Copies of this chain bind each other. A is one copy, B any other.
């Protein structure tokens, strides 16, 4: 019944989600967007400034990437959402014809910009690029993402940071709710054709996701989930995690928050995480992920393998003829030795970043493929157990 009531809010005709299989808490589904479908659970590589660092869209297609994340803050700053709208939207600008999710820009405002001032209106800040003053509001975050033309847009939320008191967490959660209401109103007004954004919509049928906040406080998460669902979004994200809390606390919060979200809508855990975090969060009912870890760590010479992380600069690999992960079928592992990759990394060759990124993204995407397959065969718990036994989170020496 809840689902039926909510569906009256859903105006994004290009957007659908259906859960096709369940295995314990894990779900296997299909997300349909204006730019095609996404098999879930899915991982979205991060294309911060209109490119996934060190690789090309062709590489991403070869890897089987289904959906990218674009950072609204960075694109708004440079080259600007207006320019991208005039260029036909982000897909056309960056030559990526599959789905894109954009964040609201809030996370980067809270982590990169200077002189932040949060008011009920929005966030006033200075650009980290040129110091210019900007105001990001729930409404302008909607408009910017509509101009970018992503398939899924996120509402602006307030991020109180980790380690704040429960009352601070409550205040941020409640402001996030008021902002979410404004963001939804703005989104629906534009969708109804009542607002002019100065450029034709690059992606008619964009969907909008709400974000559940509340830190590590269960009552706050419960209140946030209920009120966000009451506004009615196309999907729901769990925000405010992976910000420094212990990993078992994160799993606990995901564990009680995901089931609070509508079962027939996609659930997105923002900014997470390590490979085992993905497995554990899928077990708790999450469908979508994004994280910079595979790409950033690749550039820092850290490769993910079925055993854990491998620091390619380590002297033990000086003459090692084995690929990074002997079980891996990626381009890098099929052609290059640890000795070669170590040489390229130490020499500072850009190609090292490319080859390491190809491997790490393959590892993440392959992990998701194996998760999806395990769910279909009712073998997710077995997969999870085996993954846990082999994969070590420990930092490599």
CB pair B56 A344 closer than 8 Å: no
* Contacts A331-B58, A340-B93, A346-B78 given; does A319 touch B87 at CB 8 Å: yes
A318 at the interface (CB under 8 A from B): yes
Chain A stretch 347-381: residues in CB contact (< 8 A) with chain B? 347, 349-355, 358
* Contacts A83-B318, A87-B339, A319-B87 given; does A351 touch B55 at CB 8 Å: yes
Taking the closest CB of chain B, its distance from the CB of A264, in whole angstroms, is 37
CB pair A87 B51 closer than 8 Å: no
CB pair A83 B350 closer than 8 Å: no
A2 at the interface (CB under 8 A from B): no
1/0 per residue A319-338: CB within 8 Å of B?
10100000000010001110
A275 at the interface (CB under 8 A from B): no
* Contacts A83-B339, A95-B335, A337-B87 given; does A78 touch B347 at CB 8 Å: yes
The docked-state distance in angstroms from the alpha carbon of A83 to that of B354 is: 23
A266 at the interface (CB under 8 A from B): no
Chain A stretch 68-116: residues in CB contact (< 8 A) with chain B? 74, 78-79, 83, 86-87, 93-95
Interface size grouping (class) on chain A: 35 or more
* Contacts A56-B354, A350-B350 given; does A51 touch B344 at CB 8 Å: yes
CB pair A50 B95 closer than 8 Å: no
The 4 A-B residue pairs whose C-beta atoms are closest, nearest first, are A95-B335, A51-B351, A79-B343, A54-B350
The docked-state distance in angstroms from the alpha carbon of A58 to that of B358 is: 12
On A, residues with C-beta under 8 Å from B are 49-58, 74, 78-79, 83, 86-87, 93-95, 318-319, 321, 331, 335-337, 339-340, 342-344, 346-347, 349-355, 358
Would you mind naming 8 contact pairs between A and B with Cβ atoms under 8 Å apart? A49-B343, A50-B349, A51-B352, A52-B351, A53-B349, A55-B351, A56-B351, A78-B347
Q: Which residues of B contact A79 (CB under 8 A)?
A: 318, 339, 342-343
Interface residue SS majority, chain A: helix
The docked-state distance in angstroms from the alpha carbon of A336 to that of B96 is: 10
- Pick the contact of A83 from B319, B352, B353 — CB < 8 Å? B319
Q: Which residues of B contact A53 (CB under 8 A)?
A: 349-351
Most chain-B CB neighbours within 10 Å: which of A94, A343, A354? A343
Copy number in this complex? 2
**Residue in chain B with minimal CB distance to A320:** B87
Taking the closest CB of chain B, its distance from the CB of A199, in whole angstroms, is 13
* Contacts A87-B337, A95-B336 given; does A50 touch B343 at CB 8 Å: yes
Q: Which residues of B contact A351 (CB under 8 A)?
A: 51-56
The docked-state distance in angstroms from the alpha carbon of A358 to that of B358 is: 18
The docked-state distance in angstroms from the alpha carbon of A266 to that of B15 is: 62
The docked-state distance in angstroms from the alpha carbon of A331 to that of B59 is: 12
The docked-state distance in angstroms from the alpha carbon of A350 to that of B337 is: 23
**Residue in chain B with minimal CB distance to A86:** B319
CB pair A354 B54 closer than 8 Å: yes
The docked-state distance in angstroms from the alpha carbon of A343 to that of B80 is: 10
The docked-state distance in angstroms from the alpha carbon of A321 to that of B126 is: 30
CB pair B87 A355 closer than 8 Å: no
- Pick the contact of A78 from B52, B83, B343 — CB < 8 Å? B343
Q: Which residues of B contact A318 (CB under 8 A)?
A: 79, 83
Taking the closest CB of chain B, its distance from the CB of A106, in whole angstroms, is 21
Q: Which residues of B contact A344 (CB under 8 A)?
A: 49-51
**Residue in chain B with minimal CB distance to A332:** B56
